[in-house]
């Protein structure tokens, strides 16, 4: 866990008031090329008016993406030559048709929205990020899972030549994350192709990644090359690697501590002091019903 002292915080990590106030103008001028040909819709407010945006420099320079290294600055440094040309996604499992989709074909016609989401990391830090994307549920309808499908999983590219962090045995590769299908269909769950109105940078999961704002950030699979629908709960990477510390659901629950640190508070990057962590990261109204009757200490 990294906790910076005041003297360690860089100016780039403090929200620029001018950037925040001019964001709407910036977004209006930004290219809609985040998904090649899709339209940029009006912004969707998914965070409080009091949630200042985390600056671009921090969003793109302070990342967890172990495929490019375990240090927070490693992804931005090691992904500079990562290319995503001719990207494809294999769709398998309980679907009407298993096939490999060209990414542009897969996402063609979806309207890109700006969504301002809070993000909470298990290490105790958080961000507020303006993502550009479209609801995962819309994509799932296009992929046509069968009535047997109850779960969906997402697999990251495995290529040690392009992702040098995969040469390390720190995790079992390739990286896999999963959701219950009803979680995936929730309107908050987003397939992301851009950030701050720009094309998604490699260190943030280009060309396409997942965002589930009420869960810890590691659930957001990046650089996705496979989507699999299944009857049974899939094994996910962190749950396989350290099951005592990382459960399948990974819902933000401040009442359940990580074995090595508290989850009750967090430090927003760019702020000096810690703040209370909100249940479901502040999205209780939108997602609490998904877990009615579940023991959220057992199913963590």
- The domains located in the chain, with CATH, are 6-291 (3.90.420.10)
What is the largest distance, in Å, between two alpha-carbon atoms of the chain?
56
pLDDT at 134: 98
Specify the DSSP element, H or E, that contains 58.
Answer: helix 56-59
d(CA 20, CA 268): 16
pLDDT at 30: 41
Low-confidence ranges of the chain (pLDDT < 50): 1-38
pLDDT at 51: 86
* pLDDT tens sequence across 154-168: 999 999 999 999 999
pLDDT at 48: 64
Q: What is the pTM of this model?
A: 0.87
Specify the DSSP element, H or E, that contains 237.
Answer: helix 237-241
pLDDT at 183: 98
pLDDT at 66: 98
> Mind spelling out the 3-state secondary structure of 178-235?
EEEHHHHHCCCCEEEEEECCEECCHHHCCCCEEECCCEEHHHCCCCEEEEEEECCCCC
Query: What are the CA-CA distances from residue 7 to residues 4, 20, 162, 164, 282 (Å)?
Result: 8, 24, 36, 32, 30
CB contact at 8 A, 118 and 128: yes
267-293 in b/e form (b: 16+ CB < 10 A) is: bbbbbeebeebbbbbbbeeebeebbee
């Amino acid at each position: 866990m990294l906790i910076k002292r005041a003297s360690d915080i860089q100016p780039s990590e403090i929200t620029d008031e001018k950037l925040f106030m001019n964001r709407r103008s910036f977004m209006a001028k930004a290219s809609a090329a985040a998904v090649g040909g899709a339209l940029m819709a009006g912004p969707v407010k998914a965070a409080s008016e009091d949630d200042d945006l985390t600056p671009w420099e921090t969003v793109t320079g302070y990342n967890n993406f172990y495929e490019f290294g375990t240090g927070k600055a490693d992804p931005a440094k090691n992904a500079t030559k990562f290319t995503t040309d001719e990207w494809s996604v294999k769709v398998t499992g309980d679907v009407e048709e298993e096939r490999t989709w060209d990414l542009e074909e897969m996402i063609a016609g979806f309207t890109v929205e700006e969504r301002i989401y809070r993000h909470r990391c298990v290490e105790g830090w958080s961000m507020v990020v303006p993502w550009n994307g479209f609801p995962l549920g819309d994509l799932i309808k296009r992929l046509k899972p069968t009535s047997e499908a109850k779960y969906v999983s997402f697999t990251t590219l495995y290529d040690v030549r392009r992702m040098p962090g995969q040469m390390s045995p720190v995790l079992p590769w390739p990286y896999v994350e999963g959701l219950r299908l009803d979680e995936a269909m929730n309107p908050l769950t987003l397939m992301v192709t851009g950030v701050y109105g720009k094309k998604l940078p490699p260190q943030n999961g280009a060309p396409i990644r997942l965002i589930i704002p009420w869960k810890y950030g590691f659930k957001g699979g990046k650089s996705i090359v496979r989507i699999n629908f299944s009857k049974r709960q899939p094994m996910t990477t962190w749950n396989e690697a350290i099951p005592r510390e990382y459960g399948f659901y990974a819902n933000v629950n401040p009442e359940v501590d990580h074995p090595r640190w508290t989850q009750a508070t967090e430090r927003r990057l760019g702020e000096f002091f810690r703040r209370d962590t909100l249940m479901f990261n502040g999205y209780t109204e939108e997602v609490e019903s998904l877990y009615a009757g579940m023991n959220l200490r057992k199913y963590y």
